[in-house]
Every structure is written in structure tokens, then in C-alpha cells.
Structure 1
Amino acid sequence: MGIFRKKMGKPLSEEGRIKRAAIRLRRIYRLYGNPEAEVEALTTRLLEADNLLEVRRIYEIICTQTHTRDNRELKNVTIQAFGKWGGVEEARQVFDAIRHPRNEAYRAIFEAYVNNGHLEDARRVFSSLPRAKSSWWIQMMAAYARYGKVAEASEIYNWMPHKKALGWSLLLIAYARNGLVDEASEMLQSVPASDSIAANAVLAAFARAGNVAAAKELFDYMPARTSGSWNSLAQAYAQAGHLAECVKAANLMPETTRGTWVAMIRAYGDHGMVAEARTAFDNLPRVTVDACNTLIVAYARNGHLVEAKELFDAMLVRSTVTWASIMEGCTMNNLAGQALEIFHWENCSGQLMPDQVVLSAVLSAHSWLGCLDDAAGIIRDMASDYGIRPRVEHYCAILAMLTSRSELGDAEDLAASMPFVAPASAWKLLLDVCKIRRDSARARRVAEEIVRLDPSGCAEPFMVVAGLYFREGRPQEAVDLMLEKGLAGQDVDLLTRG
């Protein structure tokens, strides 16, 4: 019997009709709850969701009820949540289901695309808006800059109707990070000399790119040097392994930051100077988790696994990077089985919520042990078990395992079919094994793919293929290939070397 069924009989009094209405309202409330409160609760749950699986579950609840399924605000937040946790296709489906989407929906799907590296989709959304706000321009620029697409970032900057200081700062940093020293320096000339923020941003970018000469030249040019300027210079020296200059800069700077000490610990570790790394660690004004992580890696890379484990055990607060560091340390020291034991024990005890970094360390351990099936199982179940979508580096770990086993057919299939564009480095790894196994037919296909991804380096891949042709007794095909690819001027002697 429906709750709205009309009863026949004696007409009700006014008081009776009011009572019946109250009963109906109570029944409606019990059946459907308070719609506004439910929308608010679901919005909060979406914003607080900490993995993709949880977002999916919440969205299933939303879709079961009309008053939540058709709520625009809830759809916008759903798009944001899917985008935050890598569910780009699901975010797109929610957006496509909105009739006449408004600015908030466009903003949500735009950010989902940008944050997950779907730049062409983001550009399409961006271009469809008649009047994009300044923040959209900046975000589009930042996305291109983040992925090394400097020409596209510069194009967006040139089209920007109202250029902001943040815009040219982003472009300056993009130039610097990608080694375009002349472009960055030229652009910096147009910035007021008193603008130390822009100069420090470029200096820091030069430091992260390891371009010590450009960092020092810019540092000497700066009329006003801040603590940040000195720290960036010191970090540039540390990253490049110029330890004496790094220590000198650290001693001269007015205030040494945590970042400088951590950079020094990392640099000492990279050069096998474990005692000096420990001294830099002990000089920290305050011990932090990232400093501990850096020292653990320094110990592990230099065979001091006991000291790494002692520091790990002494840490009261650990991040996922900490767990990944000690696991990678075990793998580096031929203890990959122990790395997996740490992962399984901590995962079962609830102390560890695996993330991308930890799972990469797990795959490295499986790779070292040659456990291909277990590694593939991790990737297959990553989304269902941990709410994490596999990334390109996870697939590349499997590809590396396949190439190490000379399973070239499966490796090529994986590189061509993974749900990402396989990087040129993955194809180059495959080409190296093709060269060892003398598989010229596959090497030719792989070389074509490498050049498609990185046209600037076309000589080396095709020279490898030509060399295989020569060793197979097919010199005419080698010559034809070199002429076809414009490599006639290359050293022919290289072709006949192993």
C-alpha cells in the first residue's frame, strides 16, 4: 500500500487533515531523509575521500536517489573527487551527463584533466570558454610547464589578455628547468632588478636542473641576495656534486635552511661520503622526516644497511617515503625478500597505507627477485586493493623485467598497449635488448617509436638498426636506411662494433 493512497469514507476534519499530513511527512522523512542534509553529507564525504574506491562507492550512493543524482553541486564535487584520485574517465562521464554545464562544472573537469596530465583535453575545455579567468590561463601555463612543454606554455603566455606577474614567473621557471638558459636570462632582463622573487625562482629552477654555471652567473648578477638566493646556490652545488663549493656557500649564507642541509646529505651520500652525510644530518637545527629519509637512502646506497635500519627503528614518525626508502635499501643490498617481508608485515599490521611510492618499491623488489607474476598481480590489483591507479613507471617496471628475461615480444606488446604513452626511455631499454639478441626486425619497429616520441635524437636508434643489418650480412639495407634517415654523415665504423 502506498503512503499516498487516498482512503474512502467520512471526510476528515481540519484537525484530522493536519494530523494525516504530519504522518505523511514523517513517513517521507523516514524513507528519503532530509535531502539538503544528505547532499551536504555526501559532499563532505567526497571531499574527505582518501582513495578512488571510496569515491566510487559514494558515487554509487548518489546515483541511487533522484534528489542527489540530479544535484549540480554534487556532480561538480564528484568530478573534483574523481580527478583528485586519478579517475579521469569517470570524471569525464559525470561531466558529460550534466545538461548545460555551468562554469563550476567546466572548472572541475578542467582541473581533473590538468592534474592528471591530460593536457590536450584540458586545452580543449580551456579553448571552449569564451572568457576564461586569469587563474585558468595561469593553470594551463603551469600544466604545460610541469610537463616540459615550454613552447605551449610560452604560447599561452603570449595569448594571455592580462599578463600577471605569476605568469611570467612560471614561464621563467619553465625556461630554467628545461635548460633554456638564454631564454630565461633574456626574459629576466625585462624584470625589474629589485624583483628578487622572480630572480630567486629562476635561480632555484637552475639549481633543480643541475645547471651550476647558469645558477652562479645569475647569482653574481643579482643586486640583492636573500637567504633563498644563497640556499639555491648551495643546493645547485650539492646536486652537481661540487661539495667544497656547497660547504663554502653554506658557511657564507646568512641563514642555512633545512633544504640546504638535506641537499648536502643527499650529495654526500651520492659520493659515498657517509660520515660527512651523518655530520650534515647532526648539524640540522631540527630533525625532520625528509632528512631522515635522505640519510636512510645514503646509508643504504653505500652498503650501511644496519645503520639505515637503526635510524628507521628510531623514527617516531614515518612517512610512506620512509617505508619505501628502507625497502629500496634492502633491495639494493640483495635483500629484496626482506623488503617484501617489511611490506607485508606493515601492511597487515595497519601501520602502512601503501601509496605510489611504496608500491614502486614493492615492484622493484619483485623485479630484483624476477617474480614477474607477483609484480603483474600488484599492478592488476592496485586499484581494487589500494584505490591507486597504476602509473606509467609501474608498467615500465614490468617492461624492464620482461626485457631482462629477453621476453621481447611481451615487452613490445606491453609498451604498445599500456594505458599511457610509454616514454622513450622504455623503448630505448627494449632497443638495447634487441641489439643484444640481434633482433633487427623488432629493433626497426622500436627505433621508429623512439624517434616518434623524441625526434631530436633520431641518429642513435637507427644507427643501432643499421649496425644489426651489417652484422646480419645485409650491408645494402644498412646503407639504404642511413640514406633514408639522413644519416649518411655518421661514422660507419660504429656500425660494425658489437
Structure 2
Amino acid sequence: MLGGGIRPDSETFSLLLRSCGRFSEERFGETVHCQILKTGFGSCVFLATGLLSYYAKVGELGSAQKMFDGLSVRDVVAHNAMIAALANAGRIGGARELFDGMVQKTSASWNSMITCYCRSGDMSLAVEMFERNPIKDVISWNAMIDGYCKLGQMDMALGLFERMGSAKNSVTWNTMISGYVHLREFQVATLLFQKMQVENVRFTEVTMVCLLSACAHLGAIEMGRWIHGYIKNHRIKVDVVLGNALIDMYYKCGRIDSSLEIFHSMPMKNIFCWNSIIVGLGMHGCGREALEAFHAMKKDTRIKPDGITFVGLLSACSHSGLVSEGKKCFLQMVDTYGVEPRIEHFGCMVDLLGRAGFLEEALGFINKMPMKPNAAVYGSLLHACKIHRDTELSEHVTQCLLELNPSDGGNYVFLSNMYASSNRWEDVERCRRIMVEKRVQKIPGCSSIEVDNVVHEFIAGDTSHPLFYQINSFLDEICMELRELGYEPDIKSVLHDIEHEEKENSVKYHSEKIAVAFGLMSIGGGKPIIVVKNLRVCYDCHEVLKLLAKLFGREIIVRDRNRFHHFRQGVCSCNDYW
């Protein structure tokens, strides 16, 4: 426009300032300010107020204050903008002083102060301001709900949410769903989404991203696919944020093929997209494919690998037994890419060496670390000791873990299991006594499976599921058939010195076996059985699931705490290397 010799007017500058404020274009906004002064509009009160609002939105408090002080006429819009600027800068006292001095207050004035208190975490003053507000609008309600959600006070947020009645908008729903997802209450988030559907509320990109995150954690593939279908049908643009959420959801729900399809269809990819696909391939045991993705990423000169990239690569090498490749990646981090290794990278290297059987090298690696090892690092070595049946090193590593975190029941259980496998029952009892004295609890195994868009959770020892007895009866029948295929329960690591039959029952009712049995009963059409577990899959369950996949001719996919296991025709994708 300027190049064409057309002189801008006040409306031109007003539109530009609004655009700059909306997209936080700081440098261009300053250019617009210069043009306003050059073209003789510096004394225009309307544009001066617009500049004040712009500087408030981009967080330039000093410039906003200068504009406010220089105004000959300070209307309610100017006051609201200055209150917002002070509030955004954390100058709550100044914002409140300006607010109290206003003769005429609009909804924007009240909302600025409510938002100000919510952001500072002072919900008592936010409530006081909210209740005094005579012109509550949806922004007022949403600000309060958002404040409670950010503090994790979901009961308070839900109370306001229900009080709103029909005044809710899509932002209100998104805020609640996001709050539950942030607190890892994924089941509640998905139930709220279903209610949102019933009430015909329009979904936004924010809704999609939050829900895909919930589906990813729950392993709710059917709901995830429904959301993906909704995105396609309503032609919602799949940008890097939404695309990354889809990649993340599919690989965490066991469908790495769909993740790759989304990834390759994206015209633009950022570092988060590349990291997701590398981590996803690693979790599914596709180590060489993860390395290939990394080499492809390097061809894009705009993308620079970061710490998460190398966590994904090292983990991928560990799960696939690529020891030399993992060592090479670790060296390249600093030498080639200038990424300083953090404790999680050292943990991945210990895991890589330990899984491959290089236990002494892994211990030496820990001793040479530039920082103090944490529980995750020692935990990786401890698991390797279990795989390679090194009881002596197990005791040493467990002692290190107990010194780090004496209240972690998992360490005592692990050591007890090692003693039990060697029939050292006196040592087992000693561990149990210590657990009782210290009041430490073993984390119960928990497995979940999605059936007809409902996620069912099974916890070891819990009989509350309405079909519990039918599932157990079916599981008993399965076990009888498995014995005909040569299956013998692995009871070496059962904790207690009890009768043989009791030990068999102890491993029979592990949560992942119950979840898979329920899936076989409930999911027809040859669809894969997808289960998510909070702990590592034990050896006995791993063997049973291989046999079940063969017996029923079904693919069984289990996501445990560390990786995915795809069971097909009697074999697992991990090749028994986990």
C-alpha cells in the first residue's frame, strides 16, 4: 500500500494495531507506531488508545504506561487497557488502584481484575471480585474456572461450571477438559467430552488436542479415531500442533502405522513432530526406523535436534539391542550437535548396556556420571540384573535405590522377588517386615482396555467390575487350553512361600491377563486387543499373551511402562528382548 503511494488513514492504522496485538507482532507494531507519528496522527486520541492496547497485549508495560500518561482524554477503554497491562506484568496493586479509581466500570474492567487475581493464584480475591461484579459475562465465568483448573482445584471449577447453566461456550468446555487432562484424570475428561457431544457444543482445535492427549494416555483408540474422523469431516486444518497430537495419540494407542501416515502427510513439521515419531518408533521396537527418521530430519536445515530427540534415539537403540549405534548417538550429542547430556540420557545408556548384558560396563558408566545417579538410572540397571539373573549385583543396586528413596515399595518387592526366585525365604520375610515397619506399599498392577468407547480398568485384586466373575471363569477356561499347548506358569518370582497351586493363582490373575480376557470376550470382528498397563509386563504374562495370540488368531497389543508389545501368531515384536 505504501509502495503504491496510497496514504494510510486512521482506520488503516487501527486495523494494523489490532492485528499486531492479536498476533503479538512486537517489531511490526513499533513500525506502525513510527508511521503514525510520521503521517501526523500522533495526536489522535483514538489511535493513542489503540497503541496503549497494543503495548498492553504484547507485554510492553513501559511503553503502555507512557502512552497512558500522555493521553489527554482517558476513557474507559484506555483504563481497561492499562489495567490489563499492569495485570499481565504482575503489578496487581497498581492495577487494583487504577480499577478502584474508575468512575465507570465495564465488563472488561471487572474481567481484567478477575483474570489478574486468577493468574496470581489468589482465588480468594478473585472470588471477591467475581461476586461483586454486577455484569458477569461468559469471560468472567471462564476466567474463574480457568483459575481453579490451573491450581488443580477441579471440584471448585466444576461447581462454577455447573452454575453457569446454558451460558457455557466452547472455551468453558475446553478449559474444563484441559484441566482434567492436566491432572491426568483422563476418564473424567472423556466423559465430559461425551456430555459435550450430547449438548451439541461446537468442538474447536483446542478440544481436539486436549482429547487426543486423553485418548493417548488411556489407549482409547476408537475414540481417537472418531476425533480424527471429525477433524477430516469438518475440514479442520491439521497444523503442527494438531498433527503432533494425532501422531502422539496413534502411536500411544498401538498404531504406529497410522502415526507414520499422519506424519508423512504433513506439509510442515516442527521439532515436536519429528521427536514424536522417533519416540513412537522406538517404543514399538523399530530402532532402525527411528534412526532412519533421524537421518531424514537432519536434511531439514531448519530443524535442530534437541535433548528429547536423543532420549528417543537412545531409547529406540536400547529396545532394539543396537548397542554400537546407541553409543555413536551419545557421542554425537555433544560433539556434533552441542546438546549437553542430562541424567535421562545417561539413564538410557545404562539401559542400553544393561539389556545387552554388559552389566559391569553399565555400572562403570554410572560411576563416571558427572551428576548423582537417580532412581531411574539405578532402576534400569536393576531390571537388567533381573533379566541376566545377577543376584549379587541386584543386591548392591537395590541398596543404592533404598538409600535414594527408602519409601519406594517397588525396590523392596523387586529384591524380595529376587530372593524368592532363589528360595531365600528368610530374606523374603526380612524384606516384608521392613515394608511393614516403614509402611511402604506395593503399587498394584493396573491395566485398561477400551470397549465400545468406554475405558475399563482392571486392578490386581479388585473384584468390582460387573463382569468380574464371568471374566475369571473365561480366564480359567483359557488357562486349561494353554496347558494343552505346553504352558507352565512361571512362579519363580512369586513373593510368598506358599503352596504351588496358590502361586499359580497369584500369576493367573494379573491385571493384563484379565483385561485381555475381557477384550477377547467383548471385541469381535478380528480387531486387535489393545491394553495399557502401568507397570512392566511380567515374564509369565508375556508368555501367556504370545500363546493367546496364537490360540485365538488375534493381534494383542500391550503398552507397558516402557514400550509396546505386539503379539501375533505366538511371537512378540520385542523378540523377547524387553
**TM-score, normalised to structure 1's length?**
0.53
- Is 1:300 the equivalent of 2:145? no
* Contact 2:275/2:309 (8 A) holds in 1: no
Inter-partner Cα distance in structure 1 for 2:218 and 2:308: 34
Which one of the candidate residues 319, 323, 342 is aligned to 2:192? Answer: 342
Please give the residue correspondences for 1:150-229 in structure 2 after superposition, counting only pairs within 5 Å: 156-159=1-4, 161=6, 163-174=8-19, 177-180=24-27, 182-190=30-38, 191-229=40-78
Partner of 2:246: 398
AA in 2 matched with 1:307: M
The answer to which of 166-175 and 271-280 deviates more is 166-175
Q: Which residue of 1 aligns with 2:111?
A: 262
CA distance in 2, matches of 1:428, 1:188: 44
Deviations, residues 130-164 of structure 1 (Å, cap 9, x unaligned)? xxxxxxxxxxxxxxxxxxxxxxxxxx453363534
- How many residues are aligned here? 323
Evaluate the alpha carbon distance shift between residue 494 and residue 300 of structure 1 in structure 2; reply closer, same or farther with a 3 A threshold.
Answer: closer
Q: Residues of 2 paired with 1:228 and 1:186: CA distance?
A: 22
Give, in angstroms, the shift of residue 235 of structure 1.
0.8
Deviations 1:360-397 (A, max 9, x none): 4433432342424421331124454xx45354343332
- Deviation readout 1:26-60 (Å, 9 max, x if unpaired): xxxxxxxxxxxxxxxxxxxxxxxxxxxxxxxxxxx
Q: Does 1:291 align with 2:136?
A: no
Select which of 162, 180, 193 maps to 1:313. Answer: 162
- The structure showing larger relative contact order (alpha-carbon pairs under 8 Å, at least 6 residues apart) is 2
Closer, same or farther in 2 for the Cα pair 1:332/1:193, shift >3 Å? Answer: same
User: Are residues 202 and 424 of structure 1, via their aligned partners in 2, closer, same or farther at CA, if it must alter by over 3 Å?
Assistant: farther
Corresponding residue for residue 333 of structure 1: 183
Distance in 1 (CA, whole Å) between partners of 2:63 and 2:256 is 42
Question: In 2 relative to 1, CA 343–268 (structure 1 residues): closer, same or farther, beyond 3 Å?
Answer: same
Q: Which amino acid aligns with 2:142?
A: N
Q: Distance in 2 between matches of 1:219 and 1:262?
A: 20
CA contact (8 A) 1:268 1:277 kept: yes
Structure 1 counterpart of 2:129: 280
Structure 2: how far apart are the matches of 1:371 and 1:406? 10
In the aligned structure 2, how far is the partner of 1:195 from the partner of 1:474?
Answer: 60
Q: Output aligned runs, 1:59-78, within 5 Å.
A: none
Aligned positions of 1:350-389 closer than 5 A = 351-356=199-204, 357-384=206-233, 387=234, 389=236
Residue in 1 that maps onto 2:365:
none
Where is the strand percentage greater, Structure 1 or Structure 2?
2
CA 1:335–1:255: 2 relative to 1, 3 Å: same
| RMSD (CA atoms) | 4.2
Q: What corresponds to 1:147 in structure 2? A: none
Which whole-Å CA distance do the structure 2 matches of 1:335 and 1:478 have between them?
A: 36
For the 8 Å contact 1:399–1:414, the answer to whether it is kept is yes
SS of the equivalent of 2:201 reads coil
Residue 94 of structure 1: aligned partner = none
Quickly say closer, same or farther: Cα 1:275–1:228, change in 2 above 3 A.
same
Of 317, 322, 325, 2:172 maps to 322
1:445 to 281, 285, 296: 296
Whole-Å Cα distance in 2 between the matches of residues 291 and 240 of structure 1? Answer: 20
SS of alignment partner, residue 202 of structure 2 = coil
1:67-119 superposed Cα distances (whole Å, 9 cap, x missing partner): xxxxxxxxxxxxxxxxxxxxxxxxxxxxxxxxxxxxxxxxxxxxxxxxxxxxx
1:496 Cα deviation (Å)?
8.6
Q: Distance in 2 between matches of 1:435 and 1:165?
A: 57
Tell me, in whole angstroms, the C-alpha distance in 2 between the residues paired with 1:363 and 1:202.
Answer: 39
Structure 1: 5+ residue runs without aligned partners? 1-155, 453-457, 483-491
Matched letter for residue 265 of structure 1: I
Q: Say whether the 8 Å CA contact 1:435–1:443 is kept in structure 2.
A: no
Structure 1 494/184 Cα, relative in aligned 2: closer, same or farther at 3 Å? farther
Deviation larger for 351-360 or 313-322: 351-360
Whole-Å Cα distance in 1 between the matches of residues 275 and 88 of structure 2? 26
2:6 is paired with a residue whose SS is: coil
Q: Which deviates the most, 271-280 or 158-167?
A: 158-167
C-alpha contact 1:379 1:394 (8 A) present in aligned 2:
no
Structure 2, unpaired ranges of 5+: 315-323, 346-578
- Is the contact between residue 471 and residue 496 of structure 1 (CA under 8 Å) also seen in structure 2? no
1:414 to 218, 243, 262: 262
How many Å separate the matches in 2 of 1:210 and 1:441?
A: 42
Give the Cα–Cα distance (whole angstroms) in 2 for the partners of residues 474 and 396 of structure 1.
24
Name the aligned partner's letter for residue 268 of structure 2.
V
Deviations 1:147-194 (A, max 9, x none): xxxxxxxxx453363534322333344556311164244234234233
